[in-house]
Amino acid sequence: MVAKSTALAARNGLLIRNRTAFENARKITTLVFDKTGTLTVGQFAVARYGSLTNEFTENDILRMAYALEQSSEHPIATGIVSKAKELGLPAGQAGKITAITGKGITAELDGATIAVVSPNALSNPPEKIRAGETLVYVLRNDSPVGFIALSDQIRPESAEAIRTLHTQGIKTVLLTGDNKVVAEDVARTLGMDQFFAEVLPHEKLEKIAQLQKAGEFVAMTGDGVNDAPALAKADVGIAVGSGSDVAAETADIILVNSNPQDVASLVLFGKATYKKMIQNLAWATGYNIIAMPLAAGVLAGAGILLSPAAGAVLMSISTIVVAINAGMLKIKS
């Protein structure tokens, strides 16, 4: 039954790397989602950008960020690079590039230290964040000189996935390193139960642990390197197929099609598999409770005796019924 279920799951966009985790999908009470690349498409586009000082133009700000981000594969970096290339800006050569975990990147450029960071790296961010935008700041020698706002689209399947999970009594939580305005907007749009914003990678793991300590059976869905510790900590770790190799290696289950609706299908399928196992167990047990005593002659005195030939026929019928019942198992999406 489990082997058949695993094969069906693979045909429906789920790659099972940990069979025990798959069997435990029916126990999930809280499903935690990363935002970028999981509930959203993960393809950032520059919506607006500007300078915070008269010393630099808007394009100067974009050029600085371009120099730092041109070698990065992060979705935000990809959006910045795409915009800079569209405008034909020169690709400067930055040196001593260093990643700041959960906050951004810093490097040496044109004789100064330049950084591209998230708002949580600043004590008092000068630009107001708008709903639906992800904002980064460009710093020169630790002083903010400009900003770049990018937008990402929610996956069309995300809302239906959240609704399906809610019908199963499963709470949904958004866990993201993005700013509070964006997180609140996405969580509200999708109708999620809770959100945590501006969370650093190690804090994601801590949030998972807190939910588990509160008695929740937690599944985590994410796609990035920063999600790997949380995926490993969760009772069921689910990686988006289009995400990083590190996330995929850490997770128990991989969404081959990167479709959040497949997460809901996983839960439904896990419950359906368990239901079929119970049904088949009940049928097999019932057959043995009735047929074996009859074959042993318990009611022979009353003229009721099950012959070996009849027993063999009934055994075959029992096997056929169990096989047909298992064969009716399908993933509902």
Predicted confidence (pLDDT) at residue 123 exceeds the cutoff of 70: yes
C-alpha 237/C-alpha 229 separation (Å) is 10
Q: How is residue 119 written in tokens?
A: 């708002």
- Please name the residues in contact with 234: beta carbons below 8 A apart, sequence gap of 6 or more: 32, 208, 218, 219, 220
Residue 141: C-alpha distances to residues 70, 99, 116 (Å): 20, 16, 11
C-alpha 31/C-alpha 188 separation (Å) is 16
pLDDT tens profile 55-107: 999 999 999 999 999 988 788 899 999 999 999 999 888 888 888 877 889 99
C-alpha 9/C-alpha 263 separation (Å) is 11
Question: What is the reported pLDDT for 4?
Answer: 41
**Are 127 and 147 contacting, i.e. CB atoms less than 8 angstroms apart?**
yes
Predicted confidence (pLDDT) at residue 210 exceeds the cutoff of 90: yes
C-alpha 114/C-alpha 299 separation (Å) is 90
C-alpha 209/C-alpha 95 separation (Å) is 39
In sequence order, the β-bridge partners of residue 308 are none
Mean pLDDT along residues 263-292: 68
Predicted confidence (pLDDT) at residue 269 exceeds the cutoff of 70: yes
Q: Which residues carry out catalysis?
A: 34
Mean pLDDT along residues 263-270: 78
Strand, helix or coil for residue 40:
strand
Q: Which of 19-23, 104-108, 224-228 has the highest mean pLDDT?
A: 104-108
Question: What is the reported pLDDT for 92?
Answer: 85
Question: What is the reported pLDDT for 126?
Answer: 83
The band of 213, judged by pLDDT with boundaries at 50, 70 and 90, is: very high
Predicted confidence (pLDDT) at residue 314 exceeds the cutoff of 70: no
Say which DSSP state 12 is in. T
Question: What is the reported pLDDT for 292?
Answer: 64
pLDDT tens profile 29-59: 999 999 888 898 888 999 999 999 999 999 9
Percent of the chain with pLDDT over 70: 75
